[in-house]
Amino acid sequence: MAQDSYTLYGSFLSAPTYKVALMLGLCDIKFAYRHIDLAKGQHRSPEYLAINRYGQVPALAHDGRNLCQSDAILSYLAETTGKFGGAPAERWTIQEWLHWEVDRLYPGMSRTRFYTKFLKPEPPVLDTYRKMAETALDDLNRFLGGKQWLVGSGPTIADIACYAMVQQAHDGQLDLSARRDITAWCKRIEALPGYMPWAQAMPKMDRDAA
Ligand SMILES: N[C@@H](CCC(=O)N[C@@H](CS)C(=O)NCC(=O)O)C(=O)O
């Protein structure tokens, strides 16, 4: 594989895949795409498990490596491209945000979306995840508190990771309108050069690097 060729393995329904596709777009990196059909169990096939040992999407192949876990992929891209990694003194705070996103934001947002849009579980199940999502969104709004970006004076992978989760709110019928710091922050991210909304960033089928 050529050193600067990138292949993203993912699913167009997956927010963690969008997170990586968004980062690649913002870094102006062209990538080949391989669709992994979760409904058909392709993520558990021996071929795919050789790429992502966790049997999940996304994965990113680059420079002879198969990278997995979306936030680890963002950290790798920030380091190798020199973009969105923040100042050296900010790196640990950025890592805190990535861990918070996986721990607090992702579970509530993704499951509220999944259970609202695709599967209709018993009400207590959906209510539990909805409450988790609402609390995380309130916390994010409070953390932003008039700031432009989550860490420092410019956009970083902390913003990209959290944004990819927050923008599922509509599908989960979660209302952002009263959370003014979040809506203003989303607009700032959407104005960055190379930004692509989910539907545009995520191919529905395999494609080679453009
Ligand atoms: N922590 C992982 C989560 C990835 C994840 O949850 N992927 C889902 C699709 S959105 C998946 O592959 N689900 C199939 C499975 O877990 O069996 C990451 O950030 O990459």
Q: Residues with Cβ < 8 Å from 52, sequence gap 6 or more? A: 9, 43, 59, 66, 68
In the predicted model, is pLDDT for residue 113 greater than 50? Answer: yes
In the predicted model, is pLDDT for residue 8 greater than 60? Answer: yes
Lowest mean pLDDT among 27-36, 77-86, 119-128, 131-140: 119-128
23 Cα: distance to centroid of ligand 1 (angstroms): 17
Q: Is the pTM of this model over 0.85?
A: yes
Task: Look up residue 47 and give its amino acid.
Answer: E
In the predicted model, is pLDDT for residue 2 greater than 70? Answer: no
Report the distance separating Cα 90 and Cα 95, nearest Å: 9
Query: Which atom of ligand 1 is least distant from the CA of 110?
Result: 10
- Superfamily of domain 6-84+195-201 in the CATH hierarchy: Glutaredoxin (3.40.30.10)
Q: Which of 203, 160, 149, 204 is nearest to 31 (CA)?
A: 203
Predicted local distance difference test score (pLDDT) of residue 63: 95
Of 17, 22, 56, 110, best ligand 1 pocket probe by most atoms within 8 Å of the beta carbon? 56
In the predicted model, is pLDDT for residue 1 greater than 90? Answer: no
* Domain locations in the chain as residue ranges: 6-84+195-201, 88-190
Predicted local distance difference test score (pLDDT) of residue 122: 82
Query: Which residue's alpha carbon is nearest to atom 15 within ligand 1?
Result: 56
57 Cα: distance to centroid of ligand 1 (angstroms): 5
In the predicted model, is pLDDT for residue 210 greater than 80? Answer: no
Query: Which residue's alpha carbon is nearest to atom 20 within ligand 1?
Result: 69
Q: Residues with Cβ < 8 Å from 32, sequence gap 6 or more? A: 5, 6, 7, 8, 206, 207, 208, 209
**Assigned CATH for 88-190:** 1.20.1050.10
Query: Which residue's alpha carbon is nearest to atom 12 within ligand 1?
Result: 56
Mean pLDDT of 176-197: 97
Query: Which residue's alpha carbon is nearest to atom 2 within ligand 1?
Result: 69
150 Cα: distance to centroid of ligand 1 (angstroms): 24
In the predicted model, is pLDDT for residue 73 greater than 90? Answer: yes
Q: 144 near 185, Cβ under 8 Å?
A: yes
Calculate what percentage of the chain has a pLDDT beyond 90: 91
Predicted local distance difference test score (pLDDT) of residue 104: 97
- In whole numbers, what is the pLDDT of the chain averaged over residues? 95
Predicted local distance difference test score (pLDDT) of residue 3: 52
Q: Taking CB atoms and a 6 Å cutoff, what residues make up the pocket around ligand 1?
A: 14-16, 38, 43, 55-58, 69-71, 102
Lowest mean pLDDT among 54-63, 102-111, 146-155, 196-205: 196-205
Position 31 confidence tier, pLDDT thresholds 50, 70, 90: very high
In the predicted model, is pLDDT for residue 155 greater than 60? Answer: yes
Predicted local distance difference test score (pLDDT) of residue 146: 87
73 Cα: distance to centroid of ligand 1 (angstroms): 13
Position 4 confidence tier, pLDDT thresholds 50, 70, 90: confident
Mean pLDDT of 23-37: 97
What are the distances in angstroms from CA 77 to CA 24, 71, 139? 8, 10, 27
56 Cα: distance to centroid of ligand 1 (angstroms): 4
Query: Which atom of ligand 1 is least distant from the CA of 71?
Result: 19
